[in-house]
Amino acid sequence: MVPKIVHYVWIGSSKPDVVQKNIDSWKRILPDYSFREWNDTNWDISSNKFAKYFYDKRKFGFVGNPIRVDVLRRIGGIYLDTDVEVYKPFDSLLGEKLVFSRIYNNALGTATILAEKNNSMMSDLTEIYNNFPSSKLQDKTVDKVSNGIFTRYLINQHTGFTFGNSKQRLKNGALILPKQYFEIPAMLFETGTFATHQAAGSWQEKHERINERPQGLRTSVKGFIRRVFPATIARYENYKGGENNSIAQEFGSKAPE
């Protein structure tokens, strides 16, 4: 059973307005859930080489990766990235042991995760982050994005994870939902959306990017199209991201048996 506890991570500067508005909206939509913010005052960054490495480089989006699996393992609940917009309560999923959605046809999304306390996958991922070799941290060819780490775990553990955008029950009990449940806007004929990830597929310097407001005609046109046809634009960007990510480069179009 997943407890009604929402966890999120914010490290670094004060929260931009758009982030605070997201968090405030969660509390309105989930009035009977409790909320826990994790940061460098209540989670020991120095105890984890992965977190410390990126903290020192001020790449705070990566620092949150070991934090999310640790708090879900110890406490259980719902982890949300601060750029996730929630539309409805997660109550219908709370009976599950572990829930993700896909971010790409070939990769697991990690912006929204539901997990029971002491879930074995969260425990295994905690160990992966705790023991991440220093040599791999410094190796630019090693994928350190959480989507890649989580997806490779599923493949290496032979959980039955397949590529595509279908709902899937894995051998480890995890429920994998299609992308439109947690990551990208649903098309008119699709149902089931609980949340969307406002920066789905982008991990570079998220805190800094969130304050950027690029100007110009081309940007304005793109913004207009994005507002009018959000699902279509999201699908196109998602398709390109899935073509170019490290999972596609390593495994091609099909997950290994």
pLDDT at 180: 92
pLDDT at 219: 54
pLDDT surpasses 80 at 203 = no
pLDDT surpasses 50 at 83 = yes
Q: Residues 142-179: pLDDT tens digits?
A: 999 999 999 999 999 999 999 999 999 999 999 999 99
Specify the range with the lowest mean pLDDT, choosing from 37-46, 141-150, 214-223. Answer: 214-223
Q: Residues 101-116: pLDDT tens digits?
A: 999 999 999 999 999 9
pLDDT surpasses 80 at 226 = no
- Count of structural domains within the chain: 1
* Better-scored residue on pLDDT, 162 or 244: 162
Burial of 123 (0-12, 13-18, 19+ CB in 10 A): middle
In a domain, 201, yes or no: yes
The model carries a pTM of: 0.86
User: Binning pLDDT at 50, 70 and 90, where does residue 206 land?
Assistant: very low
In a domain, 256, yes or no: no
Q: Alpha helix (H) ranges present in 5-115?
A: 17-29, 49-56, 60-74
- Determine the Cα–Cα distance for residues 195 and 174; give it in Å rounded to an integer: 19
* Better-scored residue on pLDDT, 135 or 245: 135
106: domain CATH number?
Answer: 3.90.550
In a domain, 257, yes or no: no
- Determine the Cα–Cα distance for residues 234 and 186; give it in Å rounded to an integer: 9
pLDDT at 232: 64
- Residue (of 52, 60, 54) closest to 11 by Cα position: 60
Q: For residue 159, give its domain range.
A: 5-251
- Determine the Cα–Cα distance for residues 22 and 182; give it in Å rounded to an integer: 15
In a domain, 189, yes or no: yes
Which range among 86-95, 209-218, 233-242 has the greatest average pLDDT? 86-95
Which three-class secondary structure state does DSSP give residue 136? helix
In a domain, 113, yes or no: yes
Rg, C-alpha atoms of the chain: 18
